[in-house]
Amino acid sequence: MKITGVSGSLGSPSRTKGLVAAIVRQLETRFGVRAHIADLSETAPLQWAAGLGKDGPVELRSLLNRIESSDVLVVGSPVYKGAYSGLFKHVFDLVDRDALRGKVVLLAATGGSDQHALVIEHHLRPLFAFFGAHTVPTGIYANESDFADYDTIANPAILIRIEQAVDQVVYLAGRSTVPAAAVA
């Protein structure tokens, strides 16, 4: 089981990365594997300079390969102007359109207020539907007041939602990894 978290924040430290990391830690525990978190703020200069995807720098090719070869993705973006970040979108513009078909994706977002919570349903879910991914029914949205600091979620309701979403990932990942021959 290969699990990758993608934090689409431009800044560091980042509540988005803290949220993605909290979710990934739960998944590591449940699946008994080590996961990787891709912090897009670290690769941003390469993305903007290259824009070439698989023909770009080795670090960018490595990021895209990791995303495309994962069984489970935890994707998170801060909300900017009511949508995901441009940096986040740019990375997924470079992902092969068939690479995420049938993969399990847990959606997460952070914002300054609860007014932005629908970004999961109106922007993130349609993006991953385009790829044919299986998005987990429970998305995780957290605002500034849900954190004690950038890495610590202080709101117990968010922690409960993470547990629910992780349960759904376990269920979907177990069902989506059945070999095609076994289904026929």
Query: What confidence tens digit (pLDDT) does each residue in 1-56 have?
Result: 999 999 999 888 899 999 999 999 999 999 999 999 999 888 766 665 555 556 67
Asked whether residue 181 is assigned to any structural domain, the reply reads: no
pLDDT of residue 183: 35
Judge whether 83 lies within some domain. Answer: yes
d(CA 13, CA 149): 10
CA distance 184 to 120: 34
The CATH number of the domain holding residue 11 is 3.40.50.360
Q: How many domains does the chain have?
A: 1
156 Rama sector, left if φ>0, alpha if ψ -120 to 50, beta otherwise: alpha
